[in-house]
């Protein structure tokens, strides 16, 4: 089949054989792009209308016990200037965010054992007590099932944990030997089983990634059936072993966003900060390729420039209110509209 036929089949059936997916991942011309983006928009509008959901991102610690080779906050990066937010500071970010119309708070950090289970549960339950109409998302890495259960019981609604790559050999090239894809996947299945709305995902164009790896990821996602899928381009960081590796591209990321929208019509799909970093209009183009979520930064201005996963990260100097209004304008320019809503998954 040619790509036009592949796109028609993906649109009508939500799936393709591996070779069709590889063809879409590797070779799409301008006409194919127009077609797949227009189908992606049609499908997202069927389930979510013109709505774009805001997630207020609070990057509360950049300490990390892990040493992922791609990540700027890996433990062996001695140039990273480390910080932690106190519970009070995190709660203040949420209060500020609430006043700005955020109804989801995403608490993200490196794997920082300073935040014990008790601390995380306390933070989650206090946010929920202050803002019962809001969803709390955690993105704090690999934990035991019991720990995930405790956070859930404290009120956490959602959890983001990208698998990064489903392929064990590729996984081994990106991570230190003590981390395994087996455990990462188990975490995702545990989270799902506990009752979280679960987000998985990958970096597009990560070092050594092949089109076959991406297809393996899509198959894993079909098995997991996540509620959210976070993808963004890999971007090098000057103080990591991957400092000289090429970045993922805008085009490859947009293509994959559209493929994901057609394979997972109901999915919550962010146009990520990394996408906005590789191109000034990356997030707007992401929305036009089928994304329906954006994640403006709610972290205090003083620490933003320190949560540097990759070089050139945007929005490190702005106040939360500036980010919020900038995002509103950007989304309006795409013909879509940010809404004050938890933005839950619609089955």
Binding site for ligand SAM (CB under 6 A): 70-71, 108, 110-111, 139-141, 161-162, 164, 203, 232, 234-235, 237, 274, 309-310
Written as six digits, the tokens of 118 are: 């008790």
* Least distance between ligand SAM and beta carbon 37 (Å): 23
The rounded distance, in Å, linking the Cα atoms of 291 and 10 is 17
* Least distance between ligand SAM and beta carbon 150 (Å): 18
The rounded distance, in Å, linking the Cα atoms of 6 and 55 is 33
**Pick 25 or 57: Cβ nearer ligand SAM:** 57
**Pick 141 or 343: Cβ nearer ligand SAM:** 141
The pair phi, psi for residue 106, each rounded to 5°, is: -105, 115
* Least distance between ligand SAM and beta carbon 204 (Å): 9
* Least distance between ligand SAM and beta carbon 212 (Å): 20
* Least distance between ligand SAM and beta carbon 20 (Å): 26
**Pick 157 or 164: Cβ nearer ligand SAM:** 164
CB atoms within 10 A of CB 14: 13
The rounded distance, in Å, linking the Cα atoms of 53 and 48 is 10
**Pick 20 or 232: Cβ nearer ligand SAM:** 232
Written as six digits, the tokens of 49 are: 């209308």
In total, the chain counts a number of residues equal to 347
Asked if 104 and 98 touch (Cβ cutoff 8 Å), the reply is no
The rounded distance, in Å, linking the Cα atoms of 336 and 31 is 23
The helix (run of H) or strand (run of E) holding residue 88 is helix 87-99
* Least distance between ligand SAM and beta carbon 287 (Å): 19
Which residues, listed in sequence order, are joined to residue 51 by a DSSP beta bridge? 337
Q: Buried b / exposed e across 307-317, counting CB within 10 Å, b at 16+?
A: bbbbeebbbbe
* Least distance between ligand SAM and beta carbon 132 (Å): 26
**Pick 139 or 167: Cβ nearer ligand SAM:** 139
**Pick 43 or 106: Cβ nearer ligand SAM:** 106
Q: Which of 258, 197, 259, 262 is nearest to 224 (CA)?
A: 197
* Least distance between ligand SAM and beta carbon 173 (Å): 14
Integer angstrom CA distances of residue 118 from 150, 181, 192 = 9, 27, 22
**Pick 32 or 164: Cβ nearer ligand SAM:** 164
**Pick 108 or 209: Cβ nearer ligand SAM:** 108
């Amino acid at each position: 089949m040619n790509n036009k036929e592949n796109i028609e089949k993906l649109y009508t059936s939500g799936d393709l054989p591996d070779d069709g997916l590889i063809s879409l991942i590797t070779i799409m011309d301008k006409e194919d792009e127009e077609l797949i983006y227009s189908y992606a928009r049609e499908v997202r509008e069927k389930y979510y209308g013109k709505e774009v959901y805001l997630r207020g991102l609070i990057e509360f610690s950049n300490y990390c016990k892990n040493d992922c080779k791609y990540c700027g906050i890996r433990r062996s990066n001695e140039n990273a200037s480390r910080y932690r937010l106190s519970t009070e500071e995190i709660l203040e970010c949420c209060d500020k965010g609430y006043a700005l119309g955020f109804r989801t708070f995403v608490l993200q950090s490196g794997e920082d054992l300073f935040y014990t289970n008790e601390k995380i549960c306390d933070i989650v339950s206090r946010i929920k007590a202050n803002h019962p109409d809001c969803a709390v998302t955690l993105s704090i890495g690999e934990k035991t099932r019991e720990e995930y259960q405790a956070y859930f019981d404290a009120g956490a609604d959602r959890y983001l944990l990208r698998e990064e790559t489903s392929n064990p050999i590729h996984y081994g090239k990106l991570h230190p030997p003590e981390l395994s894809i087996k455990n990462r996947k188990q975490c995702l299945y545990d989270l799902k089983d506990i009752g979280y709305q679960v987000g998985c995902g990958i970096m597009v164009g990560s070092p050594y990634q092949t089109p076959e790896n991406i297809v393996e990821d899509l198959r894993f996602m079909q098995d997991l059936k996540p509620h959210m899928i976070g993808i963004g381009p890999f971007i090098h960081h000057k103080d990591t072993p991957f400092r000289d590796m090429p970045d993922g591209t805008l085009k490859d990321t947009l293509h994959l966003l559209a493929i994901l929208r057609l394979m997972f019509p109901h999915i919550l799909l962010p146009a990520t900060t990394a996408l906005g970093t590789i191109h000034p209009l990356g997030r707007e183009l992401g929305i036009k390729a089928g994304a329906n979520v954006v994640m403006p930064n709610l972290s205090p201005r003083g620490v933003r420039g320190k949560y540097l996963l990759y070089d050139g990260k945007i929005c490190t100097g702005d106040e939360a209110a500036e980010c919020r209004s900038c995002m509103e304008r950007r989304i309006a320019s795409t013909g879509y509209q940010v809404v004050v809503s938890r933005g839950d998954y619609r089955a």
